[in-house]
A and B are shown apart, each in its own frame.
Chain A
Amino acid sequence: EAGVAQSPRYKIIEKRQSVAFWCNPISGHATLYWYQQILGQGPKLLIQFQNNGVVDDSQLPKDRFSAERLKGVDSTLKIQPAKLEDSAVYLCASSFRGTGRVTDTQYFGPGTRLTVL
């Protein structure tokens, strides 16, 4: 089966610019996650969607970050304006049910590496 697709793979912008990332989850997966992984750290959950509804966005910096999942399939994550500390890899993952239970394995995409200068 096709995996989680993300684009672009790399992005370099200057601070205060805006940027958007796109994610296409595995077909049929109800839940989609966006993570931020800073170099040398584990992934940090930014937002979790169940179909097209938000389940958890408690760690999303809402003053600059926004995300949407229209029609419960693809998703976009936007940063506006970007700061230096936003430099990280942004990972998208999906799971079939997304309950977080043992049987729900998350499948990760390759990530988008963002560098903010």
Chain B
Amino acid sequence: KNQVEQSPQSLIILEGKNCTLQCNYTVSPFSNLRWYKQDTGRGPVSLTIMTFSENTKSNGRYTATLDADTKQSSLHITASQLSDSASYICVVSPNDYKLSFGAGTTVTVRA
């Protein structure tokens, strides 16, 4: 059973618009949560890492939030650009040594 669920599976937005991606997890215990960006044909690249004590973390136009009580995280993309077209993967660590990957959300930004 996949312990990290992401939604939506895919979305299309117009350049300049904002969007929010969701990540729900059942991984327990919880150590940290990461968001990765994976461009087509490339390996994933880390965007943010949050521990249970952090509610929000930003990386440029990317802002991740975490609610450890409800086991939910979101990734908000502000003023989207064509280069934001990619798959965004949520990764949860139950401890310091394991990672559980979500299936990803594919974002397509159109001019």
Contact = CB atoms under 8 A, between A and B. Distances in A.
Interface of B is mostly: loop
B69 interface: no
Interface stretch (A12-20, A66-74, A77-85, A102-110): A102-110
Chain B, interface residues (CB within 8 Å), range: 20 to 34
Contacts of B68: none
B93 A42 contact: no
Interface residues of A, number: 20
Contacts, number: 47
15 contacts: A41-B103, A42-B91, A43-B89, A43-B101, A45-B99, A91-B43, A93-B43, A99-B96, A100-B93, A100-B95, A102-B32, A105-B49, A107-B43, A108-B43, A111-B43
Interface of B: 4, 31-32, 41-46, 49, 51, 89, 91, 93, 95-99, 101-104
